[in-house]
Amino acid sequence: MSGITTATAWVFDLCPTDHQVAGTPLSLRHSDGEGRYLIASRVIEAGELLLVERPLLLAGAPIRGEAAWAKSSLVAFCSASTTVQSAVLALHSEPIDHPSVMVEGVRDQVARCKGATWRRDYSDATLTEAMLVFQLNAIPLDYAYPQRSSLFEVGSKFNHSCDANAFYEGREGLGSFTALRAISVGEPV
């Protein structure tokens, strides 16, 4: 299948300008208030395939607050290559010093993993940031079999919205993103 992205194909800098996502009708935009997100770089028709991508990283089922999911996510992160780890940490996460219930819960999950051999020499701050990325960006790899959650280097930058203009479908180990309606140039996707 052509047009499938690989984990190492997409590494973006924090930059105020738009970056065209090669082979797609999408550009990556950065905003201080909203982080990095995707916009339409041309008019997109309803039903148009936007992106097919291999997951950057896979972990256990995305049941928030569950210790097994937290451990699975952290083990996956610690076992990944440094290239994949850098790409994961480049995804949006809540600041680790933000006083929120989510950040406190993640800190607790990371603290429970002290002394685990898979943890190697990763700092609490790095693991907390990685876990927050999973909390905010993980998608079930396949809704028919939601035992695995996935992070996508590009696909995890699609907006999460109650009034979505695109939808996700996981199939055969790939994430597929398709337009639900026509999308104007410059519109967030």
Q: Which two tokens stand for residue 163?
A: 């009034």
* DSSP per-residue letters across 74-136: HHHHHHS-HHHHHHHHTS----TT---HHHHHHHHHHHTTTT-GGGTT--HHHHHHHHHHHHH
User: How high does pLDDT run on average in the chain?
Assistant: 82
Q: In whole angstroms, what is the distance from residue 149 CA to residue 72 CA?
A: 10
Among residues 33, 31, 30, the alpha carbon closest in space to that of 13 is found at 30
**Predicted confidence band of residue 8 (pLDDT cuts 50, 70, 90):** very low
pLDDT at 7 over 60: no
Beta-bridged to residue 166, according to DSSP, are 179
Mean pLDDT of 17-21: 69
Mean pLDDT of 104-114: 90
What pTM does this model have?
0.80
Residue 139 carries which side chain, given as an amino acid letter? I
Q: How confident is the model at residue 56 (pLDDT cuts 50, 70, 90)?
A: very high
In this predicted structure, what is the pLDDT of residue 183?
97
pLDDT higher than threshold 90 for residue 50:
yes
Q: Given a cut of 90, is residue 62 above it in pLDDT?
A: no
